[in-house]
Structure 1
Amino acid sequence: MGKIIPILFAILAGFFTTIEATINVKLGRIVSPKIATLHNLITGLLVILVANLLKGTIHEYKKIIHVEPLWLIGGIFGTLIVYMGIKAIPKLGVANTLTIIVASQIVSGLIVDAFILKQQCLYLCKLFGILFLLLGTYLIVK
């Protein structure tokens, strides 16, 4: 029972990624990919700001001044993810783009877990899993 909510959140994140990408591409065609990315991030900022205000947790933001600067650059990657998705989807399609993104996330996640965080070992079965994932990605994109 303890994993049901995180699994549901992960499934919803996948659905929302598809919906977000589709909406952003349509908006990017009307304005531009850079403006669509900016709008996406401003909208997200407003949503999470309101959520923090309603929850009463906005005061925790003052802790940000004590955080190591390296941990403050995540928004750069979020911006690049949105922008690159908006640029890739018109050429590759939503399914192909998201397939490539998810495959690269899994491979890079395993690399980070095994070599940087040292939380997992890369057993032979995981290497076969990566091989099949890449083969599946190739077959979907082809």
Structure 2
Amino acid sequence: MNALAPLIVALLGGIGLAVQPSTNAALGRSIGSVLLAALVSFAVGTVILTGVWLMADRTPLANLRDARPWMFMGGAYGAFFVAAAAFAAPRLGLASMLTIMIAAQVVAAVVIDRFGLIGLPRTPISAVRLAGVGLVLVGAVLIRRG
């Protein structure tokens, strides 16, 4: 695999996360329901992922038996994120909403890394990591005030 592939995928995913809340909020306004907009968003994503899985992967569904129940919670987190973002973006502004969410993600990620939660390797909290967290938090405050 090309060493740039994960970086490019992460960048494209980040762009998608920046566009998604506004798109879902617009759909929510149009149809009168943020929750229905989030459901439609997940339905469209499910159809697309099903097609890609059928064409490119086809890992047997039986493999799902090997997963522990808590491993299925990713869909719940994603559903909450999509609904929360569609709700918050028009009320806070996209930049404020995203920086608040990113700050929360970075703080949670540092804690998850520190304790090696969810099957990830342990990564100590260093002064440099704390400085990075601090800069993200300052950035969120500056965006919100600006």
CA deviation vs aligned residue, 1:27-78 (integer Å, no higher than 9, x gap):
0111210100100000000000011111251x52221123111111211111
Query: Displaced runs of 4+ in structure 1, greater than 4 A?
Result: none
| Alpha carbons 2:27, 2:37 under 8 Å: kept | yes
Segments of structure 2 that go 5 or more residues without pairing to the other structure are none
CA distance in structure 2 between the aligned counterparts of 1:43 and 1:139, rounded to whole angstroms: 35
Distance in 1 of aligned mates of 2:82 and 2:44: 13
Report the counterpart of residue 141 of structure 2 in structure 1: 138
Question: Could you say which residue in structure 2 is the equivalent of 1:10?
Answer: 10
Q: TM-score, normalised on structure 2?
A: 0.90
CA RMSD in angstroms comes to 1.6
Equivalent-residue separation in structure 2 for 1:130 and 1:51 (angstroms): 36
Distance 1:56 1:120 in 2: 32
1:86 is aligned to 86
**Quick one: distance in 1 between partners of 2:36 and 2:92?**
21
CA contact (8 A) 2:116 2:123 kept: no
Choose 106-115 or 40-49, whichever is displaced more.
106-115
Q: Bigger CA drift: 3-12 or 124-133?
A: 124-133
Q: Find the partner of 1:125 among 118, 128, 131.
A: 128
Give ranges in structure 1 of 5+ residues lacking alignment.
none
Identity of counterpart residues, as a percentage? 28
Alpha-carbon distance change, 6 to 56 in structure 1, aligned in 2, over 3 angstroms: closer
Supply the distance in 1 between the matched residues of 2:2 and 2:116 (Cα, whole angstroms): 27
Aligned length in residues: 141
